[in-house]
Amino acid sequence: MFKKILIANRGEIALRVIRACKELDIGTVAVDSEADRDSLHVRFADEEVCIGPARAAESYLAPKRIIAACEVTGADAVHPGYGFLAENADFSEMCAASNLHFIGPTPEAIRAMGDKALAKKMMQRAGVPVVPGSDGVIDSFDAARAVAADVGYPLIVKASAGGGGRGMRLVKVPAELERAFSTASAEAQAAFGNGEVYIERFVLRPRHVEIQLLADNYGQIVHFGERDCTLQRRHQKLLEESPSPVMTPALRARMGDAAVLGAQHVGYRGAGTVEFLLDDRHEFYFMEMNTRIQVEHPVSEEQADVDLIKEQIRVAAGEPLGYTQEDIKWSGHTIECRVNAEDPERDFRPAPGTITSFHIPGGHGVRVDTHAYAGYVIPPHYDSMIAKLIVRGRSREEAIRKMRRALDEFIIEGIPTTIPFHRKVLDDADFVSGQFDTGFVERFLNRDTQSKPVKV
């Protein structure tokens, strides 16, 4: 097992990893920027190294500074968390070259899944359902026109180097194709230094459902069921839940098997997530694979009663899984609300500042993952998420009631947060029914008046 892990991240995820390390008797090194010296991850780690100024490019995104911090402290492994360097194949190679274990998949897997067109091809070859479209990237408008005639409209042009909603163009009619193809490619070239694009049929009113995976170094892979992340705004997830309100045991088995099959095909190791689009006919299609632990991992932890970070560290250290798919059981219902320092009344504008009072909800089935506290100053340089509120109940109805109660108890003063937004969503008839798609949040926000709160 590792002796000392350096956590190359900040905020709640840094704290989350430190907690797992403590329970595994592994030493911890926190790194921080000059803007994060008062952060809780620094307080709770065994050691701290300040790696640079507030600007992420000179601190959390600076591979050399992080590797230097490992060398001075004698850390033997690096946990990248999510964001920052978590899906940077070059960084994982630099770690290996410095005799450091990067806690994550191989650089080859990170690279392959980061190339969205290649990832889709590999998944298709493995037998995972994909959205009908071009066979890989398209290099001319003539080729695009030929594919479009086959695929039909509406269609979507996606950047190979994009992902997470970046570099996409919806094309409703043939007349829009040429512009969409050239602007998508030019934008991708400017944003990612790679102008390659591919084409897919546009799946109407889908849900976003993803499968949590864990693979050891010996080819054993299990899944921990799904998370429904349909509730998003501009590709930012706001609320996640498990099970998906539209899931059936048969669909879960098929989706879980598909995700495991795809991961086996790419020789996957570690924790990962396969994202699917799910249409209204219960057909699902591979969307992307995330080669990191995700923000919403606690939903699966609560649902399947597992500490995914500890498991991720164990398999990275070379331990075999030690259990099979049949050993994994899920029960009840889990919901997570992301609490962001943003003003829902002002287009969710980030609102950093000082938290003057902070009271965390508690009670049975309530979990809060946060690095914030009363008096904490939220720096303006990073992500605006300050807490995750996770509740579980025996049923979706019980979880909704518990979430309403917990949101009412969560007191944060000094800055605006997304708590009032979540509270309204939890009263919404369409949310409560479970019958919604990725357009829910936009429709909800554009409504003149909120519908009467519904009981569950």
Q: How far is the CB of 172 from ligand MV4 (least distance, A)?
A: 13
Which residue lies nearer to ligand MV4 by CB, 40 or 168? 168
Q: Is 131 in the site for ligand MV4 (CB under 6 A)?
A: yes
CB atoms within 10 A of CB 100: 21
Query: What is the footprint of ligand MV4 within residues 245-284 (CB under 6 A)?
Result: 277
Q: Is 203 in the site for ligand MV4 (CB under 6 A)?
A: yes
Q: How far is the CB of 155 from ligand MV4 (least distance, A)?
A: 8
Q: In the chain, helix, strand, coil percent, each to 5? A: 35, 30, 35
The tokens describing 64, both together, are 């050399």
List, in sequence order, every residue forming a beta bridge with 289; answer none if it has no partner: 274
Q: Is 288 in the site for ligand MV4 (CB under 6 A)?
A: yes
Q: Is 241 in the site for ligand MV4 (CB under 6 A)?
A: no
Q: Which of 196, 200, 216, 383 binds ligand MV4 (CB under 6 A)?
A: 200
Q: Is 91 in the site for ligand MV4 (CB under 6 A)?
A: no
Q: Is 156 in the site for ligand MV4 (CB under 6 A)?
A: yes
Would you put residue 250 in left (φ > 0), alpha (ψ -120 to 50) or beta?
A: alpha
Which residue lies nearer to ligand MV4 by CB, 102 or 181? 181
d(CA 311, CA 140): 45
Positive/negative CA dihedral, 118, 124, 128, 134:
positive
Stretch that binds ligand MV4, among 90-98, 99-107, 190-198, 199-207 (CB under 6 A): 199-207
Q: Which of 53, 152, 165, 219 binds ligand MV4 (CB under 6 A)?
A: 165
Task: Check if the beta carbon of residue 60 is closer than 8 Å to that of residue 49.
Answer: no
Q: Is 160 in the site for ligand MV4 (CB under 6 A)?
A: no
Q: Is 73 in the site for ligand MV4 (CB under 6 A)?
A: no
Q: How far is the CB of 200 from ligand MV4 (least distance, A)?
A: 4
d(CA 270, CA 221): 9
Q: How far is the CB of 159 from ligand MV4 (least distance, A)?
A: 10
Catalytic residue (choose from 10, 65, 169, 292): 292
Nearest to 337 by CA among 387, 402, 371: 387
Return all residues near 1 (Cβ < 8 A) that are at least 6 apart.
Answer: 24, 26, 314, 317, 319
Q: Is 132 in the site for ligand MV4 (CB under 6 A)?
A: no
Task: Check if the beta carbon of residue 268 is closer than 8 Å to that of residue 362.
Answer: no
Stretch that binds ligand MV4, among 203-211, 218-226, 308-316, 419-427 (CB under 6 A): 203-211
Q: How far is the CB of 165 from ligand MV4 (least distance, A)?
A: 4
For the question of residue 292 being annotated catalytic, the response is: yes
List, in sequence order, every residue forming a beta bridge with 210; answer none if it has no partner: 227, 275
Nearest to 439 by CA among 164, 280, 205: 205
DSSP per-residue string spanning 27-91: EEEEEEEGGGTT-HHHHHSSEEEEEE-SSGGGTTT-HHHHHHHHHHHT--EEE--SSTTTT-HHH
Positive/negative CA dihedral, 104, 106, 111, 114:
negative
Q: Is 438 in the site for ligand MV4 (CB under 6 A)?
A: yes
Task: Check if the beta carbon of residue 226 is closer than 8 Å to that of residue 243.
Answer: yes
Q: How far is the CB of 203 from ligand MV4 (least distance, A)?
A: 4
Q: Is 287 in the site for ligand MV4 (CB under 6 A)?
A: yes
Q: Is 418 in the site for ligand MV4 (CB under 6 A)?
A: no
Q: Is 208 in the site for ligand MV4 (CB under 6 A)?
A: yes
Task: Check if the beta carbon of residue 388 is closer than 8 Å to that of residue 337.
Answer: yes
Which residue lies nearer to ligand MV4 by CB, 100 or 299? 299
Q: Which of 232, 290, 294, 418 binds ligand MV4 (CB under 6 A)?
A: 232
> What is the total residue count of the chain?
456
Q: How far is the CB of 254 from ligand MV4 (least distance, A)?
A: 19
Q: Is 228 in the site for ligand MV4 (CB under 6 A)?
A: no
Q: Is 202 in the site for ligand MV4 (CB under 6 A)?
A: yes
Q: Is 292 in the site for ligand MV4 (CB under 6 A)?
A: no
Task: Check if the beta carbon of residue 26 is closer than 8 Å to that of residue 313.
Answer: yes
Residues that bind ligand MV4 (CB under 6 A): 131, 156, 164-165, 200-203, 206, 208, 232, 235, 277, 287-288, 438
- Catalytic residue positions, numbered: 292
